[in-house]
Amino acid sequence: MEIREIAVKDLKPWPRNPRTHDVDSLVKSIEAFGFRAPLVVNETPGGYMVEAGHGRLEAAIRLGIETLPCVVVTDDEKTAMAYAIADNRHVELASWQMPELKDVLLDLDALNVDLDAVGFSHDELEKMMTATFHEPEEKQPKTLKCPECGYEWHG
């Protein structure tokens, strides 16, 4: 694995990519923070096929960026397809700790950070900022009793 700067014109999106992207949001993020996450590309005899980073590539094209940092791998077709799916799926499986997220976003807002660049819509931010988050209630132990012998225990 190696990181290279590769011309955008030489990068080929995987034609079977089933994922869609909010490219407008990615453009705002790149404008605010620069291009920080390299694409993952598979070096094949036919050129550099994108495995991960299709949305960032599209945003870079809109912004007129000519070269991008890329992690270059040499995967067989099976591995390339599996990684392309896994890269997106793992993001979906993650979740937010809402009270902590709200606190960080409030801090960023107080520091005059443009919250459009972090990817939340105005409606989402409004709902989050006015929501009250509670810690989950602790489960109360139940007393269980064996119907045959009468033994009791807490579960």
> Does 47 share its domain with 33?
yes
> Does 106 share its domain with 88?
no
Q: Tell me the pTM.
A: 0.79
Q: Tokens 């190696």 map to which residue?
A: 2
Spell out the long-range contacts of 116-125 with Cβ–Cβ below 8 A and sequence spacing 24 or more: 116/28, 117/28, 117/29, 117/31, 117/32, 117/33, 118/29, 119/22, 119/25, 119/28, 119/29
> Does 16 share its domain with 80?
yes
Return d(Cα 119, Cα 153) in angstroms, integer.
49
DSSP readout, 51-108?
EE-HHHHHHHHHHT--EEEEEEE---HHHHHHHHHHHHHHHHH----HHHHHHHHHHH
> Does 51 share its domain with 61?
yes
Residue 66 within a domain: yes
> Does 85 share its domain with 108?
no
Domain range enclosing 43? 2-94
* pLDDT tens over the chain, length 155 residues: 789 999 999 999 999 999 999 999 999 999 999 999 999 999 999 999 999 999 999 999 999 999 999 999 999 999 999 999 999 999 889 998 988 999 999 999 899 988 888 998 888 888 888 887 765 566 667 777 777 887 887 76
Residue 146 within a domain: no
